[in-house]
Amino acid sequence: MSFKKFYKTFSKALEKGQELANSEKWKSRQIAANNIVIGVSSTVAMLNGVGFSFAIDQSTLYSASMFFVSIYLIGNTYFTVATTKRIGL
């Protein structure tokens, strides 16, 4: 799939928005994904707090974690907007 076709498909989904058939299932999965992100980030912070250090420096660890959290939040926002008729772009 070309990037142009990929972008066009995603843009179309944002413009129209499709109502979810099972919004309860979507919301429960969204909450589960949020809890996974919270669990991983808090575990890393606690391990770092008790003295367990990773083989990379603090700034690299921070940059990597911010990258993954940003990607997750962008995806979460996209799918929230793309799956409802009430807040299309």
Amino acid at 37: V
pLDDT digits (tens, 9 = 90+) for 66-86: 898 888 888 888 777 777 766
pLDDT for the residue numbered 51? 83
Closest Cα to residue 30, out of 41, 18, 42, 38? 38
Q: Is residue 38 part of a domain?
A: yes
Within a domain: 2:
no
Answer whether residue 12 is part of any domain.
Answer: no
Residue 9 lies in a domain: no
pTM: predicted TM-score of the whole model, two decimal places: 0.52
- Structural domain including 28 reads 19-82
Helix, strand, coil % (nearest 5) of the chain? 75, 0, 25
The answer to whether position 77 is within a domain reads yes
Please write the tens of the pLDDT for every residue from 23-62.
Answer: 677 778 878 888 888 888 888 888 878 888 777 777 887 8
Q: Indicate whether 44 belongs to any domain.
A: yes
Structural domains of the chain, count = 1
